[in-house]
C-alpha cells in the first residue's frame, strides 16, 4: 500500500475505534439500560477484543508508515 492509502486506512481505523468507545460508553455509563450480568460481561469481553484488534491494526499501519518515512 502507498503511504496515502495507509494514512486513509489509519484514519478510518481511528474513527472506528472512537465510535466503538463512544458506543460502549453510552451503553455502560450514560443510560439506564438494564441487562443481566452475564450479558454485560459478554459485551465487555467483545468490546475489549474488538478494541485490541483495532489497536493492533493501527499499530501495524503506523509502523508501516514510519518504515516508509511518512510523517
pLDDT tens sequence across 30-59: 666 677 888 888 888 999 999 999 999 999
* Joined grid coordinates for residue 38: 452475564
Range of the structural domain that residue 46 is part of: 3-67
Helix pair angle (37-67, 3-29), 10° resolution: 160
Mean pLDDT (whole number) for 14-38: 83
Neighbours of 21 (CB within 10 A): 13
Number of domains the chain contains: 1
H helix intervals, the chain: 3-29, 37-67
For residue 1, pLDDT over 80 is answered with yes
Amino acid at each position: 500500500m502507498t503511504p496515502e492509502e495507509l494514512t486513509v486506512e489509519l484514519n478510518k481505523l481511528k474513527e472506528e475505534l472512537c465510535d466503538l468507545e463512544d458506543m460502549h460508553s453510552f451503553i455502560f455509563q450514560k443510560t439506564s439500560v438494564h441487562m443481566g450480568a452475564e450479558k454485560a460481561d459478554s459485551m465487555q469481553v467483545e468490546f475489549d477484543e474488538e478494541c485490541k484488534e483495532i489497536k493492533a491494526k493501527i499499530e501495524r499501519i503506523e509502523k508501516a508508515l514510519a518504515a516508509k518515512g511518512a510523517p
